[in-house]
Every structure is written in C-alpha cells, then in structure tokens.
Amino acid sequence: MRDGGMRWGEGSGGGGRHALQTRGRAKLGDVSLKRIYRLFNGYRWQLGAILLLALLSAVIGLFPPLVMKEIIDKALANKDKAQLLYLVVLMVALPVISGLLGIWQNHENTKVAQGVMRDLRQSLFANLQRQSMSFFTDAKSGEIIQRLTGDVQAVQNVVTTLVVSAVTQSVIVLTSVAILFWLDWRLAILSTIILPLFILPVRKVSEVRKRLRGETQRVRGDMSAQLGEIFGVSGALLTRIFQQEPYQQKQFTGLNQRVMDLELRLNLVGRWYGMALGVLGPLGTALIYLYGGWNVIEGSMSLGSIVAFTAYLGRLYGPVGTLLNLHVEVGTALGVFQRLFEYADLEPEVSDAPQALSLPTTAGLVEYRNVSYAYQPGLYALRGVSFRAEPGEMVAIVGPSGAGKSTLIGMLARLYDPTEGVVSVDGRDLRGITLESLRRQVAFVTQESFLFHASVLENLSFARQDASREEIEEACRQAYIHDVIAALPEGYDTTVGERGHRLSGGERQRLAIARAILKNPRILILDEATSHLDSESEAYVQAALDKLMQGRTTLVIAHRLSTILSADRIVVLENGRVAETGHHLELLALDGLYARLYRTQFAKAEAAAAAQTPAAGE
C-alpha cells in the first residue's frame, strides 16, 4: 500500500533510532477521524453504491407512517375499502423492498470492511518488514502479532458501521426532522428540544472509553507476548528446568485478571448514558401525546397526525441514539487505531537515503573509519574503531564478552548505521548505497542457525529463490551436509525447524553455510559458534567454512584457533575500542589482551585442532 498511494506514515524518513524515540514520538500514531476515513480511499465506488442503497432504504422508510396517516384520516374516515386495501398492500410492500435493499447493502458493506482490514494488515506487515533489527530486538514478538491480528479485529465493528451508519443515520434524522416540522411545527419543536440533553455528555464518555480501550489492548498485547515466551520451545524448557510453573501461573493470573477488570470497566462506562438514551424515546413520545392529545380532544388536530407524528419520532430518536453511540464507539476504537497507526508510522532506523546508489559488483574492500555506535544516547558499544580488510582478506575479531564484536560485524550488513564515523565498501560509505544492492553481496552466518518450519529445500531456497535443485545440492555438497540431508526420511523434502525433524547443532551450522554458499556473496560475515561440537562435526564445519571463505572478504568473530591462525589480520576489541591489531605472532609478542585471550580461550584447543582433518568430500 505504501507505494499504492494510500500512505499513512507521516514520518520524515530516516532519522535514526534516537530520533525516532525523541523527535519522532510526538507524531507516531497520530490518529484522527480524517485519517480513519482515509483508509476507505480505495473503496470510493463501493462506498458510493452502499450510500445510494442506504439512502434508498431511508427514503422508503419515510413512507409507512404517511400510509398510516392516510389509512386513519382518509380510508377509514371515508369508509373507502378499495383505498384501504391499496394502502395495506403498500404497507407490506415497502418493508419488503427496503429489506431486499438492506441485504444487498450489507453484503457490499462487509466486502468494504473486510477489504479495509486486509489492507490495514497488509500495510502494517509491509511496514514491519522495512524495520531494522533494532525494532525487533526492542519489541516483543507476541505484541507485534497481537497488533496485527487482535487489534485489527478490534476495529472491525467501527470499520463496518462507521461510514455507512454515520451517513444514513444522519439522513434519516434530517429527513425526519423536516417531516416533523411539515406535519406540525409546534410538536416538532417540543420533540427536538430535549435532544441537546443527550448530546452533551457523549464527548466525555468517548474519551474515557478511548483510554480504557487503549489500555485493554496494551494489556492484551502483554498477555500475547508473555504466552509467546512461556509456550515457545526455549521458554517452556527453561520453565521446566527451573520449575517456575507456579511463578508463571501467578504472573499470568495477574494479567488475565487485569484484562477482565478493564473489560468490565469498559462495559460499565457509559452504561448510565446508554440507559438515558433509552429514556429519550418514551419521554419525547409522552410529551407529544400530552400536548397533541390535548389538541385532539379540543379538536384542533387530527388523530392521524398524532399517530404519524409519534411514528416519525421513532425515526428521529432511534437514529440520534445510534449516532451518539457511534461517536462513543469510534472514540473507543480511536485507542486501538492509535496503536495500529503507531506501527504504520514507524520509520526504520536504517533505510535507503534519497540519493542512494546501487553498489556494483564489489571487489570487497572493507573499511571502518573512526566508527562509534551507541544503542542508547551516550552509552557507546563501539568507540573510534578503525581497520581495513583488503579484497579477499579474512579479518578475525576477538575480544571478551560484551566488547562489541556483534555490533561491529552487524554494521557491515547495515543492521545498524554508525552513530559516528564511516563504514565503507570499495571506498563508498554504506549509507549512500541501497540496502538491496549491499545485502545482495553480503552473506551473514550467525551463531544460531535459524530454520523455518518448512522443508530443507525451502529453507535453502530462502538464500536465493531462483536457485535450481542442482545448485542447491552442489552447495550442500560443498558444505558437507548433502549426505546427511539425503539420509533424512524424505531427503530434501523433510520438514525441519520448530516442530519438524531436529537437526544437530553442527548440521544446522552446515545448512547455514550451504545457504551462504548458494548466495555466493563477495563479502562474508561470520559469527563462529561458541558451542563446542564433537570433533568430527567440528571438522566438517571447519572444512565447510574454509571453502566458503575462499576468495571472499571475510569478517569473522573467531572462536576457533584455526580461524585466528589463518586470519590476515586480527582486531582485538576491549570495551568497544580497538585494543590491538596485527597477526597472531605479533600480537602474542605484545603480551597484552590478545595474549591473555589466546592462553585462556584458544590455546587449549590447539592440540585437538591439529588432529582434525575431515574426510575428503561427502
């Protein structure tokens, strides 16, 4: 929808994470009736048809009281049986026609409402896809799902009734008022004089309901997020190991109770008001019978007029009540719309600059110049980092936990943009390059090799949708995983991932490597797994990685001895700064941080690594 003309986002584009949190916040989720109406932009024709049908129904609905008046004042008064018969047939025919039109209108109405909701979900989905990793590390996934499904559902009623009800009920009110004045202006004044009493409190009621509805949806979001964590595989495992079922039960009970309390309050707010609206009809009718009846007794008014008049009163008070309720409903839904618009307005931290150019096939020269990065203002994870990787070189990043290694390598795929300094490829600042052209040439193999709940083949095709079966199998051979896959119950069609066939840690890593091989990137980013594999598995992974790295510029968070030994350069990070840079032997000679890390982390693996060489081919 973003490029289809229906644009809800009003952010200024780019701006960075901190800008989003401070400068952008005020505008985020800006909600107004006008903006809600804009959701209907693509449905003008259907809306026109719906309104026409609704108006027709409304006009037809004007006639029955007049028919009644004719029956009483003319057919009965004149004892005209033919006219009586004709009027009675008309009395039945009119509601039948209006009922048929109603069915048609309802069908169109549902189509528009469902269409608007589909667009809403689609647009939110598309905007979430644009978001940078920082959004996902900050957000709870359950909350995202709740907004996309639960919240969109919560506004369904409003979307269904908003436009049609607002217009048709207004038309009914206006025509009824006109007819009332035409029938008898004194009675008309009497019957409309009580209306302002009911209109005044509506604003207050909708405001309170809006606040409560927003809060309810927020708590529901928390509940979804909590459920997602508790019943996800990792959460469920942790709960069982630490036997925290009672604690979680208590937490859930708290949230669950809060949802109930909020819904109860929401229901109670404005109940008295709804009751007052219910009194509107009888009160007005009583006034008319009192004053009009008086006049009938005195002979200054016809009985038919009173009957017709009170019938029209129903057409006045009913729709006025509906309109006021609609206002309250919309007010209530505004709280939910605000949550939806917040997601529609999100601007990604990292996005294409307006003048961004496509990166031609890169030689693979990578350079960090004075790069700093802060996740939160003032709290730097990286400070003044500078180093170079010549085309085809492998640079190993080492450092204690929390030193900033992940942050550093993530920048090369533009998961984050530097707060200060420049990351460049072939001398071009990454911020001036389109994300698509950069990421096409960069592969990222993370520690955790995530697999979707899908077949092995689909998981591999994720790297390149147009890859042929032969290419996929060849990549798997190079990653030493083909034989493992071929031995699975359904080979490449075996379902793996969350609820599918479980693959071992080493096998998952090799699948991830096969994905990277398929992508055939110029630049490779690697986060070597820390988990210790058995020596055979380790050897296969190592051999697969060696093949993958050949001829590509590689930035690797190194955990394996063989990696640091074969690195062209080692960058040692400490507290976000580069502490040392050089070759293995140079750094050992310095006898600083690297030497200490080497002795504690890498040296022990030396003997084992030396003995490992994988079987040639699989």
Ligand X SMILES: Nc1ncnc2c1ncn2[C@@H]1O[C@H](COP(=O)(O)OP(=O)(O)OP(=O)(O)O)[C@@H](O)[C@H]1O
**Does 378 interact with ligand X (rule: CB under 6 A)?**
no
Binding track over 194-233 against ligand X, x by CB under 6 A: ----------------------------------------
Report the residue count for the chain: 618
Interface segment toward ligand X; rule CB under 6 A; list 146-154, 399-407, 453-461, 473-481: 399-407
CA dist., res. 579 & res. 592, Å (int): 9
Interface segment toward ligand X; rule CB under 6 A; list 3-11, 145-153, 397-405, 494-502: 397-405
Closer by beta carbon to ligand X, 269 or else 403: 403
Among 39, 334, 394, 403, binds ligand X (CB under 6 A): 403
Q: How far is the CB of 515 from ligand X (least distance, A)?
A: 22
Q: How far is the CB of 368 from ligand X (least distance, A)?
A: 14
Q: How far is the CB of 402 from ligand X (least distance, A)?
A: 4
**Does 521 interact with ligand X (rule: CB under 6 A)?**
no
Burial degree of 529 (CB within 10 A; 0-12, 13-18, 19+):
buried
Among 13, 282, 360, 402, binds ligand X (CB under 6 A): 402
Closer by beta carbon to ligand X, 468 or else 530: 530
Those residues whose C-beta lies under 8 Å from the C-beta of residue 217, and which sit 6 or more positions away, are: 146, 150, 151, 154, 335, 336, 339
CA dist., res. 302 & res. 70, Å (int): 11
Give the CA distances from residue 23 to residues 15, 114, 175, in Å, rounded to whole numbers and listed in that order: 9, 35, 49
Q: How far is the CB of 408 from ligand X (least distance, A)?
A: 7
**Does 64 interact with ligand X (rule: CB under 6 A)?**
no
Region class of 427: left (phi > 0), else alpha (psi between -120 and 50), else beta: left
Structure token digits, residue 228: 């997602």
Among 284, 335, 399, 521, binds ligand X (CB under 6 A): 399
553-557 and 394-398 beta bridge pairing: parallel
Residue 51 backbone phi and psi in degrees, to 5: -65, -40
Among 26, 34, 129, 137, binds ligand X (CB under 6 A): 137
Q: How far is the CB of 450 from ligand X (least distance, A)?
A: 17
Between vectors from CA 420 to CA 415 and to CA 426, what angle results, nearest 5°? 65
Q: How far is the CB of 401 from ligand X (least distance, A)?
A: 3
**Does 407 interact with ligand X (rule: CB under 6 A)?**
yes
Q: How far is the CB of 575 from ligand X (least distance, A)?
A: 9
Among 187, 381, 571, 579, binds ligand X (CB under 6 A): 381
- Contact at 8 Å (CB) between 441 and 523? yes
Closer by beta carbon to ligand X, 223 or else 556: 556
**Does 545 interact with ligand X (rule: CB under 6 A)?**
no
Interface segment toward ligand X; rule CB under 6 A; list 236-244, 351-359, 384-392, 405-413: 405-413
**Does 20 interact with ligand X (rule: CB under 6 A)?**
no
Kindly determine how many residues on this chain lie close enough to bind ligand X according to the rule CB under 6 A. 11
Site for ligand X in 338-377 (CB under 6 A): 375
Closer by beta carbon to ligand X, 372 or else 406: 406
User: Bridge partners of 423?
Assistant: 368
Quick one: which of 269, 246, 272, 378 has its CA closest to 331?
Answer: 269
User: Burial letters for 409-437: b for 16+ Cβ neighbours within 10 Å, e otherwise?
Assistant: bbbbbbbbbbbebbbbbbebebbebebeb
Interface segment toward ligand X; rule CB under 6 A; list 64-72, 107-115, 395-403, 588-596: 395-403
Structure token digits, residue 508: 């998952």
Q: How far is the CB of 136 from ligand X (least distance, A)?
A: 10
- Contact at 8 Å (CB) between 606 and 561? yes
CA dist., res. 220 & res. 525, Å (int): 39
Residue 176's CB: how many other CB atoms inside 10 A?
Answer: 27
**Does 406 interact with ligand X (rule: CB under 6 A)?**
yes
Q: How far is the CB of 234 from ligand X (least distance, A)?
A: 17
**Does 404 interact with ligand X (rule: CB under 6 A)?**
yes
- Contact at 8 Å (CB) between 333 and 31? no
Q: How far is the CB of 610 from ligand X (least distance, A)?
A: 25
Q: How many CA atoms lie less than 13 Å away from 117 in the CB half-sphere? A: 19
Closer by beta carbon to ligand X, 355 or else 401: 401
Closer by beta carbon to ligand X, 130 or else 577: 577
Interface segment toward ligand X; rule CB under 6 A; list 82-90, 189-197, 403-411, 539-547: 403-411
**Does 16 interact with ligand X (rule: CB under 6 A)?**
no
CA dist., res. 70 & res. 88, Å (int): 10
Interface segment toward ligand X; rule CB under 6 A; list 114-122, 252-260, 401-409, 503-511: 401-409
Those residues whose C-beta lies under 8 Å from the C-beta of residue 316, and which sit 6 or more positions away, are: 173, 176, 177, 180, 191, 192, 284
CA dist., res. 287 & res. 533, Å (int): 88
**Does 415 interact with ligand X (rule: CB under 6 A)?**
no
Those residues whose C-beta lies under 8 Å from the C-beta of residue 606, and which sit 6 or more positions away, are: 561
Interface segment toward ligand X; rule CB under 6 A; list 50-58, 174-182, 402-410, 587-595: 402-410
Q: How far is the CB of 447 from ligand X (least distance, A)?
A: 8
Among 209, 210, 220, 405, binds ligand X (CB under 6 A): 405
Closer by beta carbon to ligand X, 407 or else 459: 407
CA dist., res. 316 & res. 329, Å (int): 20
**Does 423 interact with ligand X (rule: CB under 6 A)?**
no
Residues near ligand X, by CB under 6 A: 137, 375, 381, 399, 401-407
